[in-house]
Structure 1
Amino acid sequence: MRIVACLNGDRRPGSHPALPVSLDQMVQDAHSAVEAGATDLHVHPRGPGGAESLDPQVVGSLMERLRDDGPQVPVSLTTALSAESDPVRRYDLVQRWASPVLPDSVTVNLHEAGSVDLVHLLHDRRVDVEAGLWTVDAARILVATGIPVSAVLIEPTQVQVGDARRNADTIVALLDRAEDRRPRMLHGADATAWPLLEAALAAGMDVRIGLEDTLRLPDGEEAQDNADLVARAAEMASANAA
């Protein structure tokens, strides 16, 4: 089972005292998260001003630092439209990401415009894709198109835990009917982060946690940093496996 540390997401700089934004902060945080039990990393690259960016120079600098100075674990990057709102420009930026510092994988949200073309581009470049399924319609796109993705990321966005679980269950049922056997991960955000992590563990799915998904521990106390969140998730995973 994978425990992915999602270090920063689209949170604004300063939204948490330990949110990693600079290259040094992300590398240091990556080490701490892996030491706490993370098996993989998921990062949203940040430009000089701290905003999300898919610019090839920004992505290249981040991946060079993580390859040279970071922990030797798989690295996933985002391609969300929050990082580049124009699907055409996003495609062009990703197309210009340079070898040999490509990420191990990326997430592509299938409800976003241009997602299917982006998946094919990344597949041609031999970058694994994790299909982000926010909705049942996104799951239908995955099943209907047969696009080449290596894993499925089920990420309901409903605020209430019950609503999020029902959405996730509907997506899972659709994938089961389609006999989709690719690895699955389930996660929530903020109030749903820990309940859905528990549901993922119970279902034998991969999990992720980090300041992208929540700023708080299961008891509601503010987390010190990503390592604090990962350590708690690792404890829960160990207890679930016992």
Structure 2
Amino acid sequence: GRDSLAPEDVQRWLGAVRAAAPGVPVGVTTGAWAEPDVSRRLEAIGGWTELPDYASVNWHEDGADDVAVALGRRGIGVEAGIWDAAGLEAWRVSPVRGDCLRVLVELPAEAADVVRSHAEGLIAHVAREEPDLPILLHGEELSTWPALDLAAEFGLDTRIGLEDTLLLPDGSEAPSNAALVRAARARLPRP
């Protein structure tokens, strides 16, 4: 029930996802909540035998540059996770900033009336620093649905899942991850 960077866990998880969804790029977290000690996080990444296609690196966490370099050396793409000004600044001055495959602008659980200004500020700064990097906008808990709507409005990638929220747009509990995906698809414009 907990996130893990342990090689055997990553191998088992990646194998299961790839068997269920062949050909779909699969990513993992490198979040400090999974392993707070940077040296142990790097050791775990170095021990992975099954490699994800990409991994998210939260730039507000200690060791972000080192984690990104370790992933790059293994041929694993890096998603830069940015959710506040401190993380944005750390990413902005990072020597590996331009090596990222995309930026996750992640909005914490915040009221809907501040989601737009927070998102617009982070997006503008990211676009100024790396105008060609794709941006994926998503929120957590209270900001999930407003962020998804903004991503659609701005033409950005987005995501939805039980990691982000347990609630459907009407405030009722989501019975499954699939229910969240269906609700999100209903809010997004058709291609």
TM-score by length of 2: 0.92
- Alpha-carbon distance, 1:142 to partner: 2.2
What SS class does the counterpart of residue 65 from structure 2 fall into? Answer: helix
Residue 107 of structure 1 corresponds to 56
Contact 1:184 1:206 (C-alpha < 8 Å) held by counterparts: yes
Residue 43 of structure 2 corresponds to 92
- Alpha-carbon distance, 1:236 to partner: 1.7
Instruction: Select the residue among 7, 10, 19 that pairs with 1:59.
Output: 10
What SS class does the counterpart of residue 186 from structure 1 fall into? Answer: strand
Contact 2:60 2:87 (C-alpha < 8 Å) held by counterparts: yes
What SS class does the counterpart of residue 168 from structure 2 fall into? Answer: coil
The CA distance in 1 between the partners of 2:29 and 2:81, in whole Å, is 10
AA partner of residue 108 (structure 1): V
Deviates more, 1:140-149 or 1:205-214: 140-149
Q: Pairwise mapping of residues 171-210 of structure 1 onto structure 2 (< 5 A)?
A: 171-210=122-161
Instruction: Select the residue among 148, 157, 175 that pairs with 2:108.
Output: 157
Report the CA distance shift for 1:169/1:146 in structure 2 as closer, same or farther (over 3 A).
Answer: farther
The CA distance in 1 between the partners of 2:186 and 2:124, in whole Å, is 29
Contact 1:158 1:164 (C-alpha < 8 Å) held by counterparts: no
- Alpha-carbon distance, 1:179 to partner: 4.4
- Alpha-carbon distance, 1:134 to partner: 1.1
For residues 117-166 of structure 1, give each alpha carbon's deviation from its aligned partner in whole angstroms, at most 9, with x where no partner exists. Answer: 11011011110110000112222222222412100000121522233332
AA partner of residue 197 (structure 1): L
Asked if 1:229 corresponds to 2:180, the answer is yes
Contact 2:174 2:180 (C-alpha < 8 Å) held by counterparts: yes
Asked if 1:71 corresponds to 2:21, the answer is yes
The CA distance in 2 between the partners of 1:178 and 1:59, in whole Å, is 32
- Corresponding pairs, count: 188
Residue 28 of structure 1 corresponds to none
- Alpha-carbon distance, 1:74 to partner: 1.2
Identity of aligned residues (%): 37
Higher relative CO (Cα under 8 Å, sequence separation at least 6) belongs to 1
Asked if 1:129 corresponds to 2:78, the answer is yes
Contact 1:91 1:118 (C-alpha < 8 Å) held by counterparts: yes
AA partner of residue 37 (structure 2): D
Contact 2:127 2:133 (C-alpha < 8 Å) held by counterparts: no
Q: CA RMSD in A?
A: 1.5
For residues 29-84 of structure 1, give each alpha carbon's deviation from its aligned partner in whole angstroms, at most 9, with x where no partner exists. Answer: xxxxxxxxxxxxxxxxxxxxx222111111111112222x3112111111101111
AA partner of residue 140 (structure 1): E
The CA distance in 1 between the partners of 2:187 and 2:115, in whole Å, is 20
Deviates more, 1:163-172 or 1:112-121: 163-172
